Amino acid sequence: MRTWYVLGVVLLFVVGVGVGFIVRGGSLTGEVVRDLEEYSYTRAICSDGKCIDVVVFCEGERVVEIKPIFYLVEHEEGWVDPRDGNVSGFCG
């Protein structure tokens, strides 16, 4: 009896995933992997040992908005930014 119950639950799960797959157009990831024109990311902007975290909103290669998401952080004297410095520009 318990075997039939487990088999029924597994079958119901498989059917549910199958129906979802068909309804979503056969894509497991949806639209996550397509090239997005509008996107955002977080970044720390640092100068002289003082940093502020911001969220950058982009549309293509154009900056739409930059918003601070935390307070200014002041590091101890002699602090070195651990990033490699290869980041150029905000969008693109």
For residue range 9-36, list pLDDT tens digits in order.
Answer: 888 888 877 776 676 665 555 555 556 6
How many Å apart are CA 59 and CA 47, to the nearest integer? 26
List the one residue out of 76, 31, 78, 72 whose CA is nearest residue 54.
Answer: 72
What are the boundaries of each domain within the chain?
1-31, 35-83
Q: For residue range 35-92, list pLDDT tens digits in order.
A: 668 888 888 888 877 888 888 898 888 889 999 987 888 888 877 777 665 556 788 7
What pTM was estimated for this model as a whole?
0.51
